[in-house]
Amino acid sequence: MKQPVVKKQRTLAAETWRRFKKNKLALTGMIVILTLVVIALSTMVIDFVTDKAIYNDYVIKQNLRMRLQGPSREHIFGLDEFGRDIFMRMIWAVRYSLFMGTIAIALSTILGGLLGAVAGYYGKISDNIIMRFMDVLLAIPSMLLATAIVAALGTSLTNVLIAIAISYVPTYARTVRASVLTIKDQEFIEAARAMGASDVRIIFKYILPNSMAPLIVQATLGVAGAILSIAGLSFLGLGIQPPTPEWGSMLSSARAYIREGWHITVIPGLGIMITILSLNVMGDGLRDALDPRLKN
């Protein structure tokens, strides 16, 4: 037999990236998100190196004489209701808004995805048990559920994460279950079974990759929602506690001063908006790039 010539196989990541970078909007979104990630990481490094000196002096130190001062050359985003530099607070807040939102959604995507896949694939009793439980969770408004969980577990960063992750699980479980149901009866699943693939292999290599697209979009949208939920919890005093900066809590505490200084509401609002918009366009681009059927 002729020895076949093997052309180098492009990995999935390389292939995805090749297609992703053609979408300029999605690329812009990703650059924004990456910039925010770099900012978040560098503030963490600065805190570590300076032992929070900069944080204490510039981010949380109040200066009531200068309160609500508009944007100027020294303070490009102006000062807030306690005379703190909004630019510095915005930068230091990135880590909470972005990382917590991402981690919470990552947790609920994994948990929800697995539950949905098991429910959809095995059907019958397991489907009923899992999905009815999800329905119970869905019946409670997610904000209320998160509030209840934090109230029960106590106020802390981890508990806020857990609360938000749990309140988003049903959405992902339903999304994945729906796409598993449409995929599991297709002929290639049966063909996989006929070639001796086990259930686990079928779920992870055949069904989940085929149901990735809706999940990715849902997850990027979810991060945006989670950022808002964290903000909401912070507003209720259950999330991130002042004076720690967080976009959502900055926004809600600024509401009272909207007549005196427009900038203190607009800037955190813009921050949230730009982050969420970037996440959405990036998610869209990622979905298209990950789907080999939409190739070229």
Selected from 7, 65, 73, 259, the binder of another protein by CB under 8 A is 7
Residue 85, φ and ψ in degrees, nearest 5? -70, 120
We find the least distance from the C-beta atom of residue 175 to another protein, in angstroms, to be: 17
Nearer to another protein, 1 or 125 (CB): 1
Are the CB atoms for 65 and 54 separated by under 8 Å? no
Looking at 129-137, 192-200, 245-253, 280-288, which segment touches another protein (CB under 8 A)? 192-200
18 near another protein, judged by CB under 8 A: no
**Sign of the CA dihedral running 78, 79, 85, 88:** negative
Least separation in angstroms between CB 17 and another protein:
15
Does position 217 interact with another protein (CB under 8 A)? The reply is: no
206 contacts another protein (rule: CB under 8 A): yes
Give the number of other Cβ atoms within 10 Å of residue 160's Cβ. Answer: 24
Q: How far apart are the first and last CA of the chain?
A: 34
Tracing tokens 């200066």 back to the chain, one arrives at: 63
Rg of the chain in Å (alpha carbons): 23
Would you state the structure tokens that stand for residue 10, as one six-digit string?
């492009």
Total residues at the site for another protein (CB under 8 A)?
Answer: 30
Sole binder of another protein in the list 64, 139, 194, 200 (CB under 8 A): 194
| Residue 71 or 123 with smaller CB distance to another protein | 123
Strand, helix or coil at 169?
helix
Q: Which of 10, 22, 52, 132 binds another protein (CB under 8 A)?
A: 10
Q: Which is nearer to another protein, 188 or 241 (CB)?
A: 188
Q: Minimum Å distance from CB 56 to another protein? A: 51
CA–CA distance, 230 with 161 (Å, rounded to integer): 8
Residue 231 CB neighbour total at 10 angstroms = 24
Which of 71, 83, 209, 214 is in the footprint of another protein by CB under 8 A? 209
Q: Which of 18, 132, 201, 255 binds another protein (CB under 8 A)?
A: 201
Q: Identify which of residues 9 and 74 has a Cβ nearer to another protein in the complex.
A: 9
Which residue in the set 50, 158, 198, 241 belongs to the binding site for another protein (CB under 8 A)?
A: 198
Cβ–Cβ under 8 Å, residues 74 and 224: no
DSSP letters for 6-67 = -PPPPPHHHHHHHHHTT-HHHHHHHHHHHHHHHHHHHHHHHHHHTTTHHIIIIIS---GGGT
Can residue 188 be called a binding residue for another protein (CB under 8 A)?
Answer: yes
Summarize as ranges the residues that interact with another protein (CB under 8 A). 1-2, 4-7, 9-10, 186-188, 190-198, 201, 205-206, 209-210, 212, 291-293, 295
